[in-house]
Amino acid sequence: MPKCLVCYKWTLDEQDIRVNPDDLSLDTSRAKAKISDFDRNAIEEATLIVEKHGGSVNALSYGTPDVKQSLKDVLSRGPEKVYWIAQSGAQTSDAYVTANVLAAAIRKLGQYDLILCGEGSSDEFNRQTPVRLAALLGLPCVTYVEKLSVEGDTIKATRRVADCSEVATVKGPVVISVLNQINKPRIPTLKQVLGAAKKPNEEIKIADLGLKPESLQPKSARKSVKGFVTKRKKIVYKEANAAANVAKLASSLAAEGLC
């Protein structure tokens, strides 16, 4: 019976983020937070595995003190217990720092057969944390997984790669990152939502992880973030006939290097 751990990120809901038309800066003042989309798939997959084979699912998250708002949400989706690490300023953490913190916490928690992550986060989608985490823990890593099955102590994972699928078999402990095609996350029933308050959560203090200060220093820094807005050139071709208009269009596209 697999012992599963799901790592998730508490992130802003991109649907609530507004782009300021004047300077393309992002207004997040009214944005609600949510569990990152692919991480919901990871939580669902771990829950499905345990519903089918038995075992257990715990969840783990690292973020700003706002991460505490995620606890009931994640517990309503299946995990029996959630561990959380809050650090002021964690919004500047890159995948290097995040993986260091998560790996240290997992070493502290003990061994898991299956460590599941979303392939990338909804906000930055760097797709680095799962592989960095596996490297730090010295575990195999299977990425881009769209189908997963557990057969005894063997895990069979179907990977979506560029133009084909690839099947990998691996024995735990292993880190697996999943795509959103793998399942459809459940909508928690209202009794599950209310029952989440009765499930345990435990804070892990970052100071107790034994990390060196340099492990908490991001390797990359975000200078600025701007919204992407499609700007139309609004060119109207007014040639004498359709063929001439098409020729003009083709030459314009060629000038842009588009054909």
Partner 1 sequence: MKFELTEEQGLIQQSARDFAKEFLDPVAADLDRTGEFPTAIVKELAKHDFLGLHLPADAGGAAAGFVSYIAAIEALSRSCSAVASIVNNQAMSSYAIYHWGSADLKKKYVAPLIKGEIIGAFAVYEHGPTPGIGPDALTATKQDGGYVLKGTKAYVRNAGVANVYVVFAITDPADPKALTGFVVDATAPGLKVGPKHSTMGLKGCPVADVVFENVAVPEGAVLGTVKKGREIVTRTLALASIAEGAQTVGIGQTAVEHAAGHARERVQFGKPVGTFQAVQTLLAESKTDCYLARLALFNAAQLVEDGKPFETEAAMLKSFLARLGSKILLDTCQVEGGMGYSETMPIPRLFRDIAGTNLLDAPADFPDGVIAASIN
Binding site for partner 1 (CB under 8 A): 69, 72-73, 76, 187-191, 193-194, 196-197
First to last CA, the chain: 56
Minimum CB separation from partner 1 for residue 30, in Å?
13
**Between residues 39 and 73, which has the closer beta carbon with respect to partner 1?**
73
Nearest to 158 by CA among 133, 171, 176, 173: 176
CB 227 within 8 A of CB 24: yes
Report phi then psi at 79, rounded to 5: -55, 150
Instruction: Return d(Cα 43, Cα 108) in angstroms, integer.
Output: 21
Structure tokens at 219: 């390797």
Taking the complex as a whole, how short is the minimal distance between the CB of residue 26 and partner 1, in angstroms? Answer: 17
For residues 178 and 45, give the distance between their C-alpha atoms in angstroms, rounded to a whole number. 9
Residue type present at position 57: V
- Which residue lies nearer to partner 1 by CB, 38 or 96? 38
CB of residue 184 to partner 1, shortest distance in Å: 8
Instruction: Compute the least distance from the CB of residue 31 to partner 1, in Å.
Output: 14
Angle of CA points 200, 207, 175, to nearest 5°: 60
Which SS3 state, helix, strand or coil, does residue 152 take? coil
Please report, as a single letter, which amino acid is at residue 85.
I
- Give min distance, CB of 148 to partner 1, in A: 23
Interacting residues of 128 by C-beta distance below 8 A, sequence separation 6+:
95, 96, 99
- Closer residue to partner 1 (CB): 76 or 129: 76
For residue 251, what are its two tokens? Answer: 């030459």
Q: Which is nearer to partner 1, 60 or 74 (CB)?
A: 74
Query: What is the β-pairing status of strands 26-27 and 33-35?
Result: unpaired
Q: Which one, 229 or 258, has the nearer CB to partner 1?
A: 229
Closer to partner 1 by Cβ: residue 13 or 123: 13
Smallest distance, Å, CB 149 to partner 1? 25
